A and B are shown apart, each in its own frame.
Chain A
Amino acid sequence: MSVLQQTPVAVPAPAPRKRYRRQDRSGYLFLLPWFAGMLFTIIPFFASLYLAFTDYNLLNPPEWIGLANFREMLADERLMRSLRVTVIYTVVSVPLSLAAALGVAMVLQQGIRGLPVYRAIFYLPSLLGSSVAVVILWRYLFGVDGVINKGLAWFGITGPAWTTDPSHALTTLIILHVWTFGSPMVIFLAGLRQIPAAYYEAAAVDGAGPWRRFRSVTLPLLSPIIFFNLVQSLIASLQTFTQGFVMSGGTGGPADSTLFYNLYLYLRGFTQFDMGYASAMAWVLFVLIALLTAVNFLAARWWVFYDD
């Protein structure tokens, strides 16, 4: 190939260059809506960085206040509580839902009759999980005399006041999140299909038991997909809003126990019109997510394995 490229006889150089130019115009035409849309992305991106250093209530022009918003954040107890709620929610529910997704995907993978039906049953909740109707449903399932407590009473357990007790309100939302494990499950299922059966057969011939085959064949070959699901779920979970809003009637209560970071951002920005403060909050979360993703990508070098 390199020899061919070094012989400057066959094709005169300017010709492909010219054709490239001619495609420029149509390329840009096709991207025209996207370019316009990027204006709605790039300009707000920098504008929000600027607003983070201002005091702005939408009525008066933004006033530059330097780092004051960030200093206020450090002393803001509600903000710290909202950060804690969001982190606990993420750290508990993401691993649980991914484990459930992988577990069920592996059972389904073994070639079972009625696979499409099972897959549909497990996948459906993930399409409904963020809808207001389902959060309302959850509120009543976990009510003081809701179905969950009726079921617990059956076993002689007195259930707590799930939704009104600050130490349990978040648990109900974590359970709701785990209930939506269907979409990572579908991705796992597709990934498991890509692992050649011969690997398992070879491992079995070498005397590897089920656990060993899982650790030495499934996990490494599936690791890029585990990684993808992990990054996606973390980013989505850190941005949770609707669940906390609807569960608490827009307050984040009881006692701020469902005050997600984005819910607090909404309350500050769009009910109190602290637009500058809300922008500063948005940027802090953005930097946190970016850092977390970067750490994930760095850590991935140690455990994510690419076949080729």
Chain B
Amino acid sequence: MTTRPWARHVVLCLVGALMMYPLLWLLSSSVKPGATVFTQPGLWPESWDLTNYPAGWVALEHPFSLYLANSLVIVVLSIVGNLISCSLAAYGFARLRFTGRRLFFTLMLGTMMLPGHVLLVPQYVVFAKLGWLNTYYPLLVPNFLATNAFYIFLMVQFMRALPTELDDAARIDGCGPFRTFWKIIMPLSLPAFATTAIFTFISVWNEFFGPLLYLTDSELYTVPLALRQFVDSEGQSAWGQMFAMSFVSLAPVIGFFIAGQKYLVKGIATTGLK
């Protein structure tokens, strides 16, 4: 299919403009006076209202910085948990030979296909019995226990591609499995670590269901839960503020995306190719 390059550019630009329009509209609405959001059709504001950001920041029960800080704590700890527990499991699966490895590996792949809602009710009951409701434990502890098989699989794929001579050489030099992991395999797997970290960041930052289920005090709320309050209150003139805070909530994801695009694209492409 050899269409002319300019024709392709025209098609891609049109589709691209359509894809970007909603986000640009959000950005533009966040700097328009609330009452004019729906009356001024153009993307370029006729009059600017930069007070939407400071006003939106304090419009909810707590200042938005608190929600951002809460989300950040959960995201950072989730990344740390996933990186430690998933890389350990991945090294075991990818580089060590032990009894039952195949069986466990199949089981791990099986959990990747298992829809989360099947486990929902009993997990909630367990967390309730442990007294963990309305704390961050239900959102964090699973990440330290390698429950996200997708990341294990991603790292296994990466570690398997490293030459086995590395392990042999390390063993001859007297390294046990832990030193081999720490000094050789882990440093070489940094791209897979980066992919896992970025994917964890984006999915945990966006996550709505877990916090909705487990957090009840508004001072523990994450950004998505806070945003939802804007919809519930639905003040006529607060549109500009709502869009401003919506944009604040998307900005870190967009930033991480721009910074880590290479790893993201590679990560998602390799999972599909097996």
Contact = CB atoms under 8 A, between A and B. Distances in A.
Chain B, interface residues (CB within 8 Å), range = 35 or more
Contact of B89 (A34, A146, A210, A289): A34
Contacts of B217: none
A169 to B, nearest CB: 15
A38 B22 CA distance: 41
Given A132-B249, A179-B19, A239 B97 contact: no
Interface stretch (A4-12, A82-90, A91-99, A189-197): A189-197
B20 A191 contact: no
Interface stretch (B6-14, B44-52, B57-65): B6-14
Interface in A119-145: 119-125, 127-128, 130-134, 136-141, 143, 145
B106 interface: no
Contact of B227 (A47, A136, A187): A136
Contact of B12 (A41, A108, A134, A279): A108
Given A124-B257, A275-B125, A34 B232 contact: no
Contact of A34 (B15, B101, B145): B145
A122 B15 CA distance: 9
B273 A30 contact: no
Contacts of A223: none
B92 A31 contact: yes
Contacts of A210: 1-2
Interface string A11-50: 0000000001101101110111110111011011101100
Interface in A182-216: 183, 186-187, 189-191, 194, 210, 213-214
B274 to A, nearest CB: 8
B184 interface: no
Given A33-B146, A147-B25, A110 B2 contact: yes
Contacts of B161: none
Contacts of A282: 115, 117-118, 120-121
By secondary structure, the A interface counts as: helix
B253 A127 contact: yes
B117 A285 contact: yes
B202 interface: yes
A108 B13 CA distance: 12
Contacts of A120: 257-258, 261
Interface in B237-274: 239, 242-243, 246-247, 249-250, 253-254, 257-258, 261, 264-265, 268-274
Contacts of A238: 115
A210 B2 CA distance: 8
B121 A186 contact: no
Interface in B1-51: 1-3, 5, 8-9, 11-12, 15-16, 19-20, 22-23, 25-26, 29, 37-38, 41
Contact of A133 (B89, B96, B116, B247): B247
B121 A275 contact: yes
Contact of A186 (B15, B38, B205, B265): B265
Contact of B119 (A45, A179, A269): A45
A293 B98 contact: no
B208 A132 contact: yes
Nearest to A141: B22
A238 B250 CA distance: 25
Contacts of A37: 85, 142, 145-147
B122 A43 contact: yes
Nearest to A211: B1
Contacts of A150: 41
Contacts of B145: 33-34, 36-37, 40
A131 B204 CA distance: 10
A202 to B, nearest CB: 16
Given A30-B91, A31-B92, 12 more contacts: A26-B177, A37-B85, A37-B147, A40-B142, A51-B121, A127-B257, A131-B249, A133-B26, A133-B247, A190-B272, A282-B117, A283-B118
Interface of A: 20-21, 23-24, 26-28, 30-34, 36-38, 40-41, 43-45, 47-48, 51, 58, 104, 106-108, 110, 112-113, 116, 118-125, 127-128, 130-134, 136-141, 143, 145-147, 150, 179, 183, 186-187, 189-191, 194, 210, 213-214, 225, 228-229, 235, 238-239, 241-242, 245-246, 249, 262, 265-266, 269-270, 275, 278-279, 282-283, 285-286, 289, 293
22 contacts: A26-B177, A30-B91, A33-B144, A40-B119, A47-B122, A107-B12, A121-B20, A123-B257, A125-B19, A128-B254, A133-B227, A133-B246, A133-B250, A137-B25, A146-B38, A194-B273, A238-B115, A241-B209, A242-B208, A269-B124, A282-B121, A285-B117
